[in-house]
Amino acid sequence: MVNIKLNGKPLQVKAGTSILKAALADEIKIPALCAHDDLDAWAACGLCVCKVEGSPKMVRACATEVVEGQNYITHDPELQEIRTTVLEMILANHPQECLTCGRSNTCELQSLAGDFGIREIPYEMDIKDIEADKSTPSIVLDPRKCVSCGRCALVCQQLQNVWALEFLERGHKTRIAPAGGVLLNESPCIKCGQCSAHCPVGAIYEKDETKKFLAAVRDESKHVSVQIAPAVRVALGEAFGMEPGTLVTGKIYAALRKLGADSVFDTNFSADLTIMEEGSELVHRIKNGGVLPQITSCCPAWTDYMEKYANDMIPHFSTAKSPMMMQGVMTKTYYADQIKKDAKDIYTVAIMPCTAKKYEITRDDNMWASGEQDMDLVLTTRELARMIKAAGICFDCLEEEDADSPIGEYSGAGTIFGVTGGVMEAAVRTAYKLVTDNELEDMNVHAVRGMAGVRKGVVDFAGTEIKVAVAHGMAHVEEILNEVREAKEKGEEPPYHFIEVMACRGGCIAGGGQPYNTNDTVRAQRVAGLYNDDEKCVTRRSHDNPEIARIYKDFLGAPMSHKSHELLHTKYQERPIYSK
């Protein structure tokens, strides 16, 4: 521990703590735009300058570690004046479009300007004249609003290992863009949206498609069917003042019906369906000498990364589609038969925590398995929150409702898909049954839970050891893939039977389309919310879901059947890192 003083007040903190975090521990907020708990400090914005008693130099609180015995001055009139000047200079280069900006009321720059009481800019306005990059179906990059904090580049490079964004040019002309100035859709971008989740302003944001939804519900010829992903139910409440992790599933069903949805289903149902297919595929590979390890394929950002950076792993990828895509095709086939409608008359919408899902719905021709586009529209959690507010719906006041049948019931295994390790845990619960014909006694598979970037374990299948690994955050996946490659080169047995990968830290609960201000504390609360939902479910194994049993009996036949392959499975291809 280190003994310091903050504004003359004694304080004890851990060695290596920054001044910024030491101040927060003492409930003192030092302003900053570039600092984020997920990222290394690199002192870009200059707002967090502080004084060290006895030194003529000022230091940046985010990147300066405390030193034994020193007294740090975090607030005084001189520091206030310096910070105000820095803010005014940033604002002089920032478009004054707050009323029409998607980040209004959640913008960190806007909040700081309000906190500092800035009412006018004493400098000449000088806004970059650069057109917004709208080339991807997932995110939009608007360089005019960039404050050069560097968060997006750091998250893309450090956490995701993608390197799609970097600083280009110098001085006042500095801007964030893909290397070479290419468009995002020509770059290595995997559409995960972590850049948008970490941007403090409106410079990077999800492509807003709420108008498409509103047009669809006004079209009387269309049956609008909406599904909600597991992670949405523990995050949407934050947009209405609730604590992260608050379970609002029933309120979401109700809100979607008020917005005009004709049927409301739950992606958790198709998560159970995914487990039946993916689990059966794993067992088939193990029993028949198939390619191992099998690797999960339900995260579209990870799939995009694999096809670009790790396409030697294509034979290892599960061919099972993601739950969202399975729900889409089941809606336009099985459910369409139930309500006696043509697939072309059903408009499918998915509420997702993920910006990459917007890309997934058209990633290849397997996404038209129903004869029509299986999934017509994807909206993020943030987009749904905006629609609910715009419609004047009192979300807090809504009575809880249930999902529709016959593709709405789910097990606890389906709901934990939204957590890192959750797909693995759900698969283990069912694969154990398929291998041993017995039920796993302890359904809480602790070996795959937690927040470590890479987790490895062994699950005992009645005497057979099944080796598993979990990775989240793309920077961690190469460690596991390299182990697989090395075993291949040496002619050794694969190090694992099954690998789960999710692109975003924590899994879908921290996807690029979730509410802002996500950090590890918020992640932990959302994770706890999904595990609580799992514990409360009467059915906690995918194979015990009665609606899953019914859909196989009445429609699909069996997992891995010819019909299942036609509708529920896909393929992968090598894609260039740069397409230009």
What one-letter code names the amino acid at 56?
A: P
pLDDT at 551: 98
Q: What is the pLDDT of residue 3?
A: 96
The fold for domain 211-568 equals Rossmann fold (3.40.50)
Whether the upstream peptide bond of residue 77 has omega within 30° of 0, thus cis, is no
153-194 pLDDT, tens digit each = 999 999 999 999 999 988 878 899 998 899 999 999 999 999
Per-residue DSSP letter, 47:
T
- Residue 160's pLDDT is 98
Low-confidence ranges of the chain (pLDDT < 50): none
Contact 169, 122 (CB under 8 A): no
Query: Which of these, 335, 353, 337, 374, lies nearest to 570 by C-alpha position?
Result: 374
Per-residue confidence (pLDDT) for residue 479, from 0 to 100: 97
By C-alpha distance, which of 304, 301, 321, 299 is closest to 370? Answer: 321
Which H or E run includes 422? helix 422-436
* pLDDT computed for residue 580 by the predictor: 66
Respond yes or no on whether the N-terminal peptide bond of residue 293 is cis (omega within 30° of 0).
yes
Question: What does the pLDDT read at residue 172?
Answer: 79
Which SS3 state, helix, strand or coil, does residue 38 take? Answer: coil
For residue 331, what pLDDT is reported? 99
- Return the number of other C-beta atoms located less than 10 Å from residue 239's C-beta: 19
Any idea where the domains of the chain sit in the sequence? 2-75, 102-206, 211-568
Contact 60, 83 (CB under 8 A): no
Determine the pLDDT at residue 377.
Answer: 99
CATH 3.10.20.740 fits 2-75, yes or no: yes
**pLDDT computed for residue 180 by the predictor:** 87
The beta strands (E) that lie in 283-376 are given as: 294-295, 346-352
Q: Which of 402, 346, 403 is nearest to 224 (CA)?
A: 346
CATH code assigned to 102-206: 3.30.70.20
Q: In what order do the strands lie in the sheet with 464-472?
A: 294-295, 498-502, 464-472, 454-461
SS3 sequence, 494-535?
CCCCEEEEECCCCCHHHCCCCCCCCCHHHHHHHHHHHHHHHH
Closest of 540, 517, 335, 529 to residue 432, by C-alpha: 540
Residue 170: per-residue pLDDT: 85
- What span, in angstroms and rounded, lies between the C-alpha atoms of 136 and 192? 11
